Amino acid sequence: MAYTAKIGPSILSSNLSCLGAECVRMMACGADYLHLDVMDGHFVPNLTFGHPMVECLRKSVGPDPFFDMHMMVSRPEQWVKPMSAAGANQYTFHLESTTNPGNLIKEIREAQMKVGLAIKPGTTVEEIAPWANQIDMALVMTVEPGFGGQKFMDDMMPKVSWLRSQFPSLDIQVDGGVGPDTIHRCAEAGANMIVSGSAVIGNEDPRSVIALLRTVVSEAIQKRSLDR
């Protein structure tokens, strides 16, 4: 089993007026990567930021932090090259947003980024299957994308379990309402890449929350390897 526990704070939950410092703080608190939510006001109702800010953040935090771009946009093809040039490491697009996932995966690879493929709660997990061997990570949304602070959708966990059973070495990410109260269900289902926003960033001691999330996931991975 090649996958490991990775915790990525969702920086949209941080103080946006000092985003560079917040990113540095999260990495110092033990984050494995940073999750950056890009919303275009079309694919989802909300509007966040684009590649110019990613470029500024990269200059601010240096080359090391891994930028996982969650592209909640109607035309993901349009932003592959700009995001790569801005310093993004992984480009996660929504299956629902494109008619040609295969071509988009190829474009992302050619732009020297890792490939993530995301599905909304209403999309069946089997739709990921044709692409699973061409991607680095599958993202199962555990809330409707577009807004923070929503309640975790427990009924998404069978999707995670199915992916883990079918693709044992795939990185599987969960995003939405994930924190100390819900991490056990995510870990048991087989998720290993954990996006957490307010539960980490809004806590007085982010380091301890990140450590807790990682421990729960690592223990579940260990248990799974022993059970095989």
Q: pLDDT-based confidence at 11, cuts 50/70/90?
A: very high
Contact (CB, 8 A) for 101 and 117? yes
What local confidence, expressed as pLDDT, does residue 150 receive? Answer: 80
Please give the positions annotated as active site.
37, 175
197 is in an annotated binding site: yes
pLDDT tens, 104-146? Answer: 999 999 999 999 999 999 999 999 999 999 999 999 999 999 8
Contact 71/36 with Cβ under 8 angstroms? no
Q: Which phi and psi (to 5°) does residue 50 adopt? A: -125, -160
Q: Is 92 helix (H, G, I), strand (E, B) or coil?
A: strand
Residue 35 marked ligand-binding: yes
Residue 149 assigned ligand-binding role: yes
What pLDDT shows up at residue 2? 75
Cα–Cα distance measured from residue 161 to residue 181, given in angstroms and rounded to the nearest whole number: 19
Q: Is the pLDDT of residue 3 over 70?
A: yes
Cβ–Cβ under 8 Å, residues 79 and 40: no
State yes or no: 13 annotated in a binding site: no
Q: Tens digits of per-residue pLDDT, 140-185? A: 999 999 876 689 999 999 999 999 999 999 999 999 999 999 999 9
Residue with tokens 């993901």: 76
The answer to whether the annotation marks 122 as part of a ligand binding site is no
DSSP, collapsed to helix, strand or coil, labels residue 56 as helix
pLDDT score of 1: 56
Are 183 and 213 within 8 A, CB to CB? Answer: yes
Q: Is the pTM of this model over 0.85?
A: yes
Helical pair 51-61 and 19-28, crossing angle rounded to 10 deg: 50
